[in-house]
Chain A
């Protein structure tokens, strides 16, 4: 029967420290006996995970049957060109998108984004077979896909690393939109006119810049920040 010298409460025989204040129990006349039955079990329980096997199976079956049906139709009935490749490819892309959501939920978000980027690139490259030309793929599709993947990775990293408030998230999103639009227009202009210049994305850039500057100003002034929170709270 030991008491905490600090709190004055009697402690259960299994405790080496007071659970309230962490003071060690020192009782020379009654050393702690490790074999006493503790008041609570020592084993920790594990939360049972919800199995999404059914959803994964359903999605896989639907996509697979769509792909097979279109493939068969292409081979036996509508034989004009390889149109079914576009649908089969789209099914594969959708299935890969579904992986982190329902098929393998432990996949890291960075890896799944890279995987998504790779599969979209592969799909677009496959489409070059249908168009008989691959210059558009290397000049536009590949750089834009890479840019989108990169921006998504950066956003994921920022959101996971720092706990952004609503306003900071908005600021970063506007910055990324501006970068994306500029990137798209630069690649398009290089492909169509063989030179780099900005026209419509310049407008997007200006608008995003104005919004970003406004948001940064609001963020840096506590009074403004609170005013916006108050008016936009939901």
Chain B
């Protein structure tokens, strides 16, 4: 028996390091004293959280996620992850300013944090570990283990993984490289977009304004315009940004664009828990004339239909992968890459959009977990520059929209939610701003 076990471990030796995936390469280079690419996922249960039990659940569940229980290190040419065997990550009482910068040497070198507050469990992860889908697996598995420690049974399906199973190779793969096989590299479109003006908050404040609404209300409103919920919210955000630009002092108008991550698992089958997203930039150019809301909705709808399909996305992945596979780029030392990438990001990529919006859609949760869960919230985290990021998730009939911004003014949020109210959607607002 023992012999058999040893041979199976020989077959699959414990990995002692991981390459960063294609989009994970960018996030650590943007690290500043006052910025880290950190996102937050929260689940609100129906009972008060017991921190001791939650810590136990985290300890049990984290073993299942080898690519999340890691520390980031620098090599000569690229960064890499190595398994982190230090104690932790420890659960902490929640704080007012979520998504704080995450130093790579702090927190026992973990790139993941767990918080509890009243009924809410929150998980913050550095984006280099994985995207929202991967993070949601971690959060839901931790929640499931927590519920099991409380004595409930939870079926292992959808985002809930079996903590006793071995992680499959597919969960740890860099899925980008598997699908980066288009015959051309379509060029990236770059045009400087409108930037939200505002007063910067002091280090370190993150303003959250969250709206809770009924998913069926939102669906009804979207149906009125003949579009999907994501397209509708995109149009509303574009409408809010256009209004904001109009009201501000400006010499000339600029196109208003939204950076929206697309979950590639929808188009390219993969079980990966790491990053597998790409960005699309739906936008409106007010220099062409004044758009009515109906026109914005149509434009967004057509844009999404045109760009979000398997062929275009494959081209996009191929373009992104081309930079990483280019031998000339690969031999450049890491510090030079960091310098170039961070400058490129600040001067081109970041200026390419006016705001960020992500919609994780209707969340699948195992039936026997549903009675314990009240709602889910996601936060896109601190924006790289002065602007606001919007994150949407739906659980049952509760749709939550969370804006995270590092500026004092809440104009974009105000225009956004007022438009929803005008369209007959009931919105409930909660914020961490001092009131």
Contact = CB atoms under 8 A, between A and B. Distances in A.
B101 A37 contact: no
Contacts of B97: 44-45
Interface in B196-245: 204, 208-211
A39 B428 CA distance: 12
B184 to A, nearest CB: 28
B100 A20 contact: no
Interface residues of B, number: 34
Interface in B383-426: 410, 413-414, 417-418, 421, 426
Interface stretch (A11-19, A129-137, A187-195, A220-228): A11-19
Interface in A39-87: 39-45, 47-51
A28 interface: no
A21 B433 CA distance: 12
Contacts of A17: 435
- Interface size range of chain A in the complex: 20 to 34
B96 A11 contact: no
Nearest to B427: A9
Interface in A65-122: none
A19 B413 CA distance: 9
B428 A9 contact: yes
Contacts of A8: 418, 421
Contacts of B417: 7, 9, 20
Contacts, number: 94
Contacts of A48: 103, 106-107
Nearest to A21: B414
Nearest to B34: A47
Nearest to A48: B106
B414 A20 contact: yes
A32 to B, nearest CB: 9
A37 B44 CA distance: 14
A12 B429 contact: yes
B96 A10 contact: no
Contacts of B106: 48-50
A40 B430 contact: yes
B435 A40 contact: no
A147 B343 CA distance: 35
Nearest to B116: A41
Given A19-B410, A41-B93, A51-B105, A10 B100 contact: no
Given A7-B414, A20-B414, A45 B428 contact: no
B88 to A, nearest CB: 13
B113 to A, nearest CB: 10
Given A20-B417, A40-B432, A47 B410 contact: no
Given A45-B96, A50-B106, A39 B414 contact: no
A225 to B, nearest CB: 16
Contacts of A12: 428-431
Contact of A40 (B100, B101, B208, B343): B208
Nearest to B429: A9
Nearest to B413: A20
Nearest to B211: A9
A47 B204 contact: yes
B421 A7 contact: yes
A15 B96 contact: no
Nearest to A20: B414
Contact of B95 (A4, A11, A16, A41): A41
Nearest to B208: A40
Interface string B63-101: 000000000000000000000000000000111110011
A19 B429 contact: yes
A10 to B, nearest CB: 4
A47 B429 contact: no
Contact of A11 (B93, B101, B343, B429): B429
A16 B435 CA distance: 5
A220 to B, nearest CB: 20
B93 A43 contact: yes
Nearest to B99: A45
B435 A47 contact: no
A43 B429 contact: no
Interface string B16-32: 00000000000000000
A18 B429 contact: yes
Nearest to B417: A9
Which of B100, B421, B433, B435 has most A Cβ within 10 Å? B435
A41 B105 CA distance: 26
Contacts of A4: 429
A135 to B, nearest CB: 46
A50 to B, nearest CB: 5
B429 A50 contact: no
Contact of A10 (B93, B107, B427): B427
B415 to A, nearest CB: 9
Contacts of B209: 19-20
B118 interface: yes
B210 A39 contact: yes
Given A8-B418, A41-B95, A44-B97, A20 B105 contact: no
B119 to A, nearest CB: 9
Contacts of A37: 118
Interface string B140-152: 0000000000000
A18 B418 CA distance: 12
Contact of B430 (A39, A50, A51, A234): A39
B426 A10 contact: yes
B204 A40 contact: no
Given A20-B209, A48-B106, 5 more contacts: A9-B417, A39-B432, A40-B96, A41-B96, A48-B103
6 contacts: A39-B210, A40-B208, A40-B430, A41-B95, A44-B95, A47-B204
Which 10 pairs across A and B sit closest by C-beta, in order of nearness? A45-B95, A19-B431, A40-B432, A39-B430, A48-B106, A12-B430, A20-B414, A8-B421, A10-B428, A9-B427
Interface of A: 4, 7-12, 14-21, 37, 39-45, 47-51, 234
